[in-house]
Structure 1
Amino acid sequence: MTSIDEQGNRVGAVDKIRGLCLLGILMANMVIFQYGFYGMEAGSAFHLSRIDEWAHRGLQIVVDGNFIPIFMFLFGYGVYKLRRGLVQRGLKPGWVLVRRFVMLIVFGIAHSFALWEGDILMGYGTMGFALLLFANRKPKTLIIWTLLLSLVLIAAGYGTGDSKSEKEEKQRIEEYVERSIEVYQHGSYAEIFDFRLSDDPDIPDLPGNGAVLAAVVIIAMLPMFLLGIIAAGKRWFHDPGRERRRYIGSASVLLPIGLGLKSWAVLHLSSAWSGVWLTAGAGMLALGYIALAALLFSIVPDRNVVARAFQAVGKMSLTNYLMQSVICTTLFYGYGFGWFGKLGVLSGVLLAAGIYSVQAAASLLLLSRFKIGPMERVLRMVTYWSLSGRPRTRKVPVPDPIGANVG
């Protein structure tokens, strides 16, 4: 399996894990593309079959909330890797990283306004600025921060089960979902755009509004980002063949515990502890999936077409992520095929697998002719402020302070 060299070449294992993660994200998002963000809270409006109800329950346990943390982990890994490579070239990483984060925010704004409100790029771009405070810290410091923030996040989940106030909001949600069905199935692009911006179920905001919400988001996202930085500094994916025992040990512990906690939480959503177990279980499952994927990719030869397909999707993750929104909004919204609420949860899972397969084949074909995807090229051009998408100068390498602290 491909490993990184001191010139900052890509880590094959990370690209493959990122590609696999995009499949999980598409399967999780498929429910939202089909029913909206609140659709499953008013499932009766869509007359789901028993099979679809169980399929949704399975997705809640195995998929929902498990793959976004993996992307957070890989983003932290990538930030460390990019910064380290720049320092080794004798370049100052500050403005390079700032331009990259700003461009991700720009992509996110365009994506959320023009296509679909379920965007993650703005959050990642914003969190990138917070990561600049941690990218050069010692492992012990990062571990302490990760543990403290994880405990705060898990504790915040207590009492988030169904409450009386939430039950009172159910009617507003159901009314909103009824309106959304008509708009998303038959509306034009302009009508759907206006609905997304102007209509909502009128659920009260958190106390303190923006400031509190921003703090909650940072606390929720930082632990997985920091773990990614630690993993990059410790070179956990550079020689997967030698790391198999670590992967086996991690997966065998984290996967059963994570599945157990999430299963209990999903089956007991009214419990005050459901939020705690849901949060803890999702984090453990995400790390368990990373370990399991790394183990499998360490066994499967690089020349295997399936491994190459996952790697190709991972290399073009930004392009493929945006294309998933283009494809699915076209399929489900009124200005396209108008399938909103009509397909079914299980059929949606199969459709997600089909869309991903097409993306994998297209990614392999495109990368056989070009080094990177189109959106990745734009991001690199802005990051390095260069039409070639590469650093303009390459100076004599200097001692790597990051590696000294984290390696």
Structure 2
Amino acid sequence: MHDDITPAPIPVHASSTRSNAEIAQPVRMRMPSLDLLRGIAVLGILLVNIYSFALPEMVRVEPLFLPDYNAREQLLWYLIYFFADGKFIALLSLAFGASLWFFAHDKASLSLSRLNQLQRRRSLSLLGLGAAHAYLLWDGDVLVTYALFSFLVWRWRVWSDNRLIAVALCLFALQTLLYGSLLLMPADAWQSISDMFNEQALQQELAHYQQGWWQQTPQRISKAFEMQLATVFGGWFPASMMLIGVVLARRGVFSGSTLVSPTNLWGISLGAASLMLLVVLLNRSQGFVSQFALTLGIQLQMCASGLMAIVYALWICRWAQCGNLSHIGAWLRAALVAVGRMALTIYLMQTLIFTGLFYGYGLGWFGQWPLSQLLLLILAVWLCQMIFAFFWLRYCHAGPVETIWRRMIYR
């Protein structure tokens, strides 16, 4: 089902040796390590998206607003903050950048104009799917961000590794400066932000998500549009991770031809975890006040999250190459690979499940479940989605949404 290959570098321009009609087919080359990474990432982001699906979003910034504020709930909040918040979206960005490179490699025999045409269709159709997702279902969509930055990453993918790394660092620095510029805001602006984190705002958000779908629509559209505009401000970090994903793919990390030694990997892991621990301690010492959390706090967290995402990717690639697995371990890995192969379907399915359970046009449980119960629900959804993906791909080549996406691309 999968071909484990070591890709050769993509030529900047290749002429067709076969007809475009023969070659311009959906991707046949599968990279199990990349599918595994993408599967883990798309499941992992649910740990953070749950703050928008089932809890007031201010809970993500301030644990004080947890429905049950006790030691157990606080511990779970800190574990998510330490291991998941910002990490899995960065991991998904790595996978997205790598997938752009593999797509170009798979179509290397096409003319450059035909290749660019197919990629434009990929990006535009993903943009359409993301916009529909954001405006019709959930304003926290990330597909629009990925689609917009894919145009830049696609053009830059042919640059040398050193140049891509340098550009990624520049984009990261730009993102850091943009967050740092918030310090220039006047005191009354910070006061208005702080006023958003109070009991009255909490009750307003609870009331909003208890409404029906049509009643939620104006605010959902407004917030989705604001988030898409904010991509210009806050989308440079995922873009930088996409470029790192291109470099990792080109260096054979996802094909298994390049693996970091366990000793070096443990050292990098310790460094990234230490930086993240510093972020937690600093935010806690500052009481998670917005003026710190949204400037220096988020800058440090972004740096730690990027490092931890790379560490996660390297460990996942080692696991993908591991041959001595128990039956449960082998099934788990195969199921996660299946999730990665239909990550778009899984991502949108999570929105349907959780908005159906927690929003007013569903069961209306928004803001009522403690974090501990939500994590148990997430585990159950993960298991169901892994079983669904595993058995779906035994009978179909791609997920249902992936099939629609391919039809939009290849017509």
Band the TM-score falls in, shorter-chain normalisation: 0.7 to 0.9
In structure 2, give the amino acid aligned to 1:81.
F
Q: Distance in 1 between matches of 2:116 and 2:133?
A: 26
TM-score, normalisation: structure 1: 0.83
Which of 239, 247, 263 lines up with 2:277 in the alignment?
Answer: 263
Is it true that 1:18 corresponds to 2:42 in the alignment? no
Partner of 2:107: 86
Partner of 2:78: 57
Mapped to 1, the partners of 2:348 and 2:282 lie a distance apart of 35
Pair 1:384–1:199, CA change in 2 (3 A)? closer
> 1:227 matched to which residue of 2?
244
AA at the equivalent of 2:375 = V
Aligned pairs for 1:17-56 within 5 A:
17-41=37-61, 43-44=64-65, 46-56=67-77
Please give the alpha-carbon distance, in whole angstroms, between the structure 2 residues aligned to 1:167 and 1:346. 32
Aligned ranges for residues 376-387 of structure 1 at < 5 Å? 376-385=402-411
Compute the RMSD of aligned alpha carbons.
2.8
| Matched residue, 1:369 | 395
Deviates more, 1:33-42 or 1:157-166: 157-166
- 250 and 229 in structure 1: CA distance in 2 versus 1, 3 angstrom threshold: farther
Equivalent position amino acid for 1:356 in 2:
W
Structure 2: unaligned runs, 5 residues or longer:
8-26, 287-291
Specify the alignment match of 2:19 in structure 1: none
- Structure 2 CA distance for aligned equivalents of residues 172 and 148 of structure 1: 33
Match of 2:364 in 1: 338
Aligned to 1:119: 141
1:183 aligns with 2:203: no
Contact 1:251–1:289, Cα closer than 8 Å, also in 2: no
Please state if 1:151 is matched with 2:176.
no
Identity between Structure 1 and Structure 2 (%): 22
Q: CA deviation at 1:289?
A: 0.6
Once the two structures are TM-superposed, the CA of residue 255 in structure 1 deviates from its matched residue by 2.0
Task: State the partner residue of 1:76.
Answer: 97
1:355–1:289 distance in 2 versus 1, CA, 3 Å = same
Which residue number corresponds to residue 276 of structure 1?
Answer: 299
Equivalent residue for 1:324?
350
Q: Cα offset for 1:35?
A: 1.3
> Where does structure 1 lack aligned partners over 5 or more consecutive residues?
386-407
Tell me by how many angstroms 1:40 deviates: 4.2
In the alignment, what sits opposite 2:160?
Answer: 138
- Cα distance in 1 for partners of 2:380, 2:115 equals 40
Structure 1 runs of 4+ aligned residues shifted over 6 Å read: 159-163
Structure 1 pair 195–342 and aligned structure 2 pair: CA distance change class (3 A)? same
Residue 21 of structure 2 corresponds to: none
Aligned length: 373
> 2:107 and 2:324 mapped to 1: Cα distance?
31
> Residue in 2 aligned with 1:388?
none
Whether the 8 Å contact between 2:130 and 2:142 is mirrored in structure 1 is yes
CA contact (8 A) 1:160 1:273 kept: no
